[in-house]
Structure 1
Amino acid sequence: MDRQTISWTLVLILCQAIHYAYAATPVFKMTGPQSPIVAMVNGVAVLECQLIPEKLLPGMEIRWMRSDARVHTVVHLYRNGHAVTEDEDEAYKGRTQLFSEQLAVGNVSLRLAGVRLADEGDYLCMVEHERTIEQAAVPLKVTSLGARPTLRLEGYHDDGILVQCNSTGWFPLPTLLWTVQGRKDGLDGSGTRTARDADGFYRISSSVEVRQGLAAVWCQVRAPLLTELQVSRIHIPDEFFPRVSKYFSAFMVFLVFLLIVLFGGSIYYYWKRKKTKELYKRPTLEKHKTICDAVDELELFTANAKENLELERTLCTEAAERVIGSAVQVTFDAYTANPYLEVSEDCQTILFREEWRDLEEHNMRFTARLFAMGKDSYRSGTQYWEVFVGIKPDWDMGVSVPSIPRHDWVTICPKNQMWAIAKRGPIYEASCNNPLPLERPATAQIIGVYLDHNLGLVRFYDAENLAHIYSFAAEFREEIFPFFSPWGSQDIIKICTPLSPHLAHRRPTQLSQALGKPANESNNVLV
Structure 2
Amino acid sequence: MFRKQREMTLRFLGRICLIVLSLLPAVSTQRGGWRVVGSDQPVIAEAGDDVILPCHISPRVSAVDMEVRWFRERFDTPVHLYLNQNDQPGTQDSDYQGRTALSPSALETGDISLRLRYIRPSERGVYTCFADDGSQYEEGQAEVIVAALGTQPSVSMDYTQGEQTRLVCRSEGWDPEPEVIWRDRNGNDVTSLSNTTLLRVSQGLRSVSSYIKIKQQSNVFSCLVRSKIPKPDWESKLHISSDFFPGVSGWMVAFFLTLALSIGAIPLLVIQWRRMDAMERQFEPMAALYLYQNLRKELESMRQIPKSEWKWILSSAVDVTLDPDTANRWLILSAEGNE
Give me the TM-score of the superposition, normalised by structure 1. 0.36
1:126 counterpart = 2:137: no
Is contact 2:194-2:210 (8 Å) kept?
A: yes
Report how far residue 197 of structure 1 moved: 4.2
Counterpart residue number, 2:68: 62
Higher Rg = 2
Report how far residue 156 of structure 1 moved: 7.5
SS of aligned partner of 1:132: coil
Partner residue of 1:47 out of 46, 53, 69: 53
Alpha-carbon separation, structure 1, partners of 2:99 and 2:243: 54
Superposition pairs for residues 474-513 of structure 1, below 5 Å?
A: none
Alpha-carbon separation, structure 2, partners of 1:231 and 1:102: 41
Report how far residue 230 of structure 1 moved: 2.3
Give me the TM-score of the superposition, normalised by structure 2. 0.53
Counterpart residue number, 1:322: none
CA distance change for structure 1 residues 240 and 136 in 2, over 3 Å: closer, same or farther? farther
Counterpart residue number, 1:34: 40
Counterpart residue number, 1:241: 244
Partner residue of 1:82 out of 86, 97, 102: 86
Alpha-carbon separation, structure 2, partners of 1:23 and 1:230: 53
Question: Deviation digits for residues 68-87 of structure 1, max 9, x if unmatched?
Answer: x3655312112344311011
Partner residue of 1:208 out of 204, 212, 218: 212
Is contact 1:218-1:233 (8 Å) kept?
A: yes
Counterpart residue number, 1:140: 143
Give me the CA root mean square deviation: 3.8
Instruction: Return the letter of the residue paired with 1:127.
Output: A
Is contact 2:168-2:211 (8 Å) kept?
A: yes
Report how far residue 204 of structure 1 moved: 1.8
Instruction: Return the letter of the residue paired with 1:142.
Output: I
SS of aligned partner of 2:154: strand
Is contact 2:120-2:146 (8 Å) kept?
A: no
Is contact 1:62-1:78 (8 Å) kept?
A: yes
SS of aligned partner of 1:243: coil
Higher mean Cα deviation, 107-116 or 141-150?
A: 141-150
Counterpart residue number, 1:11: none
Is contact 2:226-2:234 (8 Å) kept?
A: no
Partner residue of 2:102 out of 98, 115, 122: 98
CA distance change for structure 1 residues 30 and 37 in 2, over 3 Å: closer, same or farther? same
Is contact 2:157-2:165 (8 Å) kept?
A: yes
Partner residue of 1:232 out of 215, 232, 235: 235
Instruction: Return the letter of the residue paired with 1:217.
Output: F
Question: Deviation digits for residues 268-324 of structure 1, max 9, x if unmatched?
Answer: xxxxxxxxxxxxxxxxxxxxxxxxxxxxxxxxxxxxxxxxxxxxxxxxxxxxxxxxx
1:149 counterpart = 2:155: no
Which structure has more relative contact order (CA 8 Å, sep 6+)? It is 2
Counterpart residue number, 2:193: 188
Question: Deviation digits for residues 93-143 of structure 1, max 9, x if unmatched?
Answer: 2332113453333321001233345434443322233x1334231131424
**How many residue pairs are counted as aligned between the two chains?**
223
Question: Structure 1: any 5+ residue segments left out of the alignment?
Answer: 1-13, 245-527
Partner residue of 1:178 out of 179, 182, 186: 182
Is contact 1:147-1:230 (8 Å) kept?
A: no
Is contact 2:63-2:112 (8 Å) kept?
A: no
Question: Structure 2: any 5+ residue segments left out of the alignment?
Answer: 1-18, 248-339
Q: Comparing both structures, which one devotes a greater share of its residues to helix?
A: 2
Report how far residue 30 of structure 1 moved: 2.9
Is contact 2:55-2:111 (8 Å) kept?
A: yes
Alpha-carbon separation, structure 2, partners of 1:40 and 1:163: 32
CA distance change for structure 1 residues 23 and 223 in 2, over 3 Å: closer, same or farther? closer
Report how far residue 219 of structure 1 moved: 1.3
Partner residue of 2:111 out of 83, 107, 113: 107
SS of aligned partner of 1:77: strand
Report how far residue 48 of structure 1 moved: 0.8
Is contact 1:38-1:141 (8 Å) kept?
A: yes
Alpha-carbon separation, structure 2, partners of 1:198 and 1:184: 32
Is contact 1:160-1:211 (8 Å) kept?
A: no
Counterpart residue number, 1:333: none
Alpha-carbon separation, structure 1, partners of 2:234 and 2:29: 60
Instruction: Return the letter of the residue paired with 1:139.
Output: A
Higher mean Cα deviation, 151-160 or 109-118?
A: 151-160
Alpha-carbon separation, structure 1, partners of 2:125 and 2:147: 15
Report how far residue 166 of structure 1 moved: 2.1
Alpha-carbon separation, structure 2, partners of 1:24 and 1:207: 59
Report how far residue 238 of structure 1 moved: 5.5
Alpha-carbon separation, structure 1, partners of 2:47 and 2:137: 30
Superposition pairs for residues 416-495 of structure 1, below 5 Å?
A: none
